Amino acid sequence: MIPASKQAGAALLSILLIVATLSVAALIVTETIARQTETQKLSARRSAASWAARSAEAAALASASEMTRASRLPAAGDGTDRVRTLVLPIDGGQIILDLRELPPCLNLNALANTDETVRTRQSSALKALLDEMGIPRSDADSLVATLTDWVDADTQQLPGGAEDDYYTTRQAGFRAANQPLQGLAELAPLPGFTPELRLAIAPYTCAIPETEPLVLNMNAMDTESAYVLSASTGGALSLSEARKLIDARPTSGWNSVSEISAYAARDPSLELALAGLPMSVQGFYFTGTGRVALDSGSWPFAFIVSTESQSAPRIIWRSFGVTG
C-alpha cells in the first residue's frame, strides 16, 4: 500500500506537469495570435500604402498638363528645373512624390519593334552610343544582337546573339525573356552587360514598356543629352555637332519642330542627319518616384505617365514595394 503522503506528492507533481504543459501551450497560442495579428496589421498597412500610391498616380495624372507645359521650357542643365516634389498628407502618414520628365534616352525595347526599319535604326543608335563609349564595334554588334534576342518575341538567334540554347546551359539555367524589358536591372543576366557597362549606359537609355523609339524633346536636351542625340542619328551627327545644335536652341526654347527643321536646313549635312529623327518640343513621358510613409513603415513606388496619345494621360507602368 502506497503511503498517503507519497500519493499526494505524485498528484501534486502531475498537477504541476499539467499546469506547465498548459502554460507552454498558452504561450505558444499567445505568440501565434500575436504573430497573426501583426501579420494582419502589416497586410492592412501595405494595402493602405498601395492605395496611397495609387493616389499619387492620380495626382500625377491631374498634373499632366502642367508637366507638359513645363517640358517646353529649355533645360537648365542640372535637371532640377524638371523635377516637382509633392508631399501629400494621408491618415497616419504622408506620400512623398517626385515627378519629373523622362530625360532624352534610347528606348531599348524599340529593338523588339515589329517594323524592321525601326529595329534597324534603333540598333544603329545603340551601336553608336557604345562606340562613343569606346566599345569595339565587334563587341557592340554582339551586345546589341544579344539584347535584341532577349526582348524580341521570336526564338531565332541573331549572329552574335543569345537565345534559350545559351541560357539553359548556364549553372542557373533559364530561358530568354523574349519580351520587352520592365527595367534596366533586367540587363544583368545578359552576357557582356557587365555592371560597369550597365552603369555607363544608364543615363542614356531607358525601358519604356512600348516598342516605339522615344520621341526626343529637343527642349529637354542638355550637354549630357548630346550623347543621345548623336546616337539617335546613328552617329551621323557627331557629339560636338550635337552639342552645337543644343547650344543653338533659342533662350525661350524651340517653338516647334518646324523651327528646328528650318534651322537645320541652313546646313545640308545637319538636315540629312536629322532626317527621320522623331523630334518634339515637349515631353511625352513623365516618371513618378517616391514612398508612402505610414505609421512606422515605408513603401517605395514608381510609375510612368504617358501623354503621347491624343487621349487622356495614362499610367503605362507601375511598381510598388520594390527598390532598385
Q: What is the mean pLDDT of the chain?
A: 88
As a whole number, mean pLDDT of residues 139-143 equals 96
The CATH code belonging to domain 106-280 is: 1.10.40.60
pLDDT for 179 equals 93
The three cell numbers locating residue 15: 498537477
Distance CA 173, CA 169 (A): 6
Residue 126: closest CA among 38, 61, 197: 197
Per-residue model confidence as pLDDT tens digits over 224-240: 999 999 999 999 999 99
77, pLDDT greater than 70: no
Identify the residue with better confidence: 310 or 150.
Answer: 150
1, pLDDT greater than 60: no
Domain boundaries, the chain: 1-41, 56-102+284-320, 106-280
Residue pair 246/228 in contact (Cβ under 8 Å)? The answer is: no
Q: From residue 200, give the alpha-carbon distance in Å to each of 69, 128, 181, 225, 295.
A: 31, 14, 18, 14, 38
Confidence of residue 91 (pLDDT cuts 50, 70, 90): confident
Indicate if 106-280 has the same CATH topology as 56-102+284-320.
Answer: no
Q: From residue 49, give the alpha-carbon distance in Å to each of 59, 125, 152, 256, 324.
A: 15, 40, 35, 41, 19
pTM of the model: 0.82
Residue identified by cell 519604356 is 208
The SS3 of residue 154 is coil
Confidence of residue 9 (pLDDT cuts 50, 70, 90): low
Burial code (b: 16+ CB inside 10 Å, e: under 16) for 246-260 equals: beebeeebbeebeeb
The SS3 of residue 5 is helix
Which CATH architecture describes the domain 56-102+284-320? 2-Layer Sandwich (3.30)
137-151 and 116-132 are packed helices; what angle lies between their axes, rounded to 10 degrees?
A: 140
